[in-house]
Structure 1
């Protein structure tokens, strides 16, 4: 049975402007969320956009498109002339155009949402597939020759401080030949963090983060490779916020 994604959990959800944008573009948001994609409305500096989460700390920003390129989504849907979708990464390493119905081969599509989704959804799925392939390669590397008494890398200090703030204790060990760090979340789920691509100094270049249910061991969420400590912190913070929101509704 389809389990809807949790509603965004941040202070902006109480902002009437955020609520208006969420309602105005609910058709786009619903299609993304129905495909299991974490979606939000961003309002930074008046640059309104719908954002779809991608692996590795990236996102797809869906905005309006005009004569000069990307524009803020209008509050009045009737003022929207065309869509633009841009692949963005927080560290600035990747920024490319995915869709633009104001110019080129896609210009005939105008404000058609289905035409937008016909490009956006496969792009997001391709990013997920590539992330899973990277993860699988990292797991093969991490599982080779790990001794039973291995002392592996620790979680970064900022992650440990965040967990300590909520009284969460992390437990390290070896699981199926792979070093891992596990800790419980407030909603009967737990996170498993596996270091990947460990260098000669014992420092991981990436992490695998897996969320599982205590009472549904076969049900996993968001198995993703996380490159670098900032992305690891953001990923764990996102899962913690989701778990706190779930727990508060009980």
Structure 2
């Protein structure tokens, strides 16, 4: 039988080695999750470009072509939009903002009315395309976030750190074994779950709006045409004047 002092020394060595292994496993995994989360956040920023630079302008053009808020609401109900994304009443009142929205646009048709109607359909098809692309990116982000969450869940399933630390506290000196080596503070075993918890990044629906794919133009073209013809009859002269020509100016901008 080993003397008590020798037994205590062996326990201390075992505890130190176990703590070192646990710390390496934990911090190594945490680093991987942080890297995956950074990649996820970067992709969220990249995909938001479609929303901010494509979908936003598609919608603002449609809002301006319809102009009347009752027609805008009817359009939203027709295509299944739950909220007026990028809509601000200031848009309908600001000539400079309207000019910016309609920069570098081309119109097809023999008459002003024909160009107005065909351009509305073009805006809708562009919106449908960009929403489809955006929806695909959102689905990718959902899978990415779900995979990170599953990795964390599996890690904790395989590594019950609280139980391991409870075991370590039974070895050797409790004060000496109450923490991991490698930067873990003394007494960290208390409340370890909350202090060491690795959390997945926020779900994509908390970071980006979820937009359902638009109905194909051919399935709603008749009610859309009725809508835009009504909008044409109510449209202000300043905006109708854009369709006197086949295109709008493209001013040079300083980068």
Scaled by the length of structure 1, the TM-score of the pair is 0.30
Compare relative contact order (CA 8 Å, sep 6+) and give the higher one, 1 or 2.
2
Which has the higher Rg, Structure 1 or Structure 2? 2
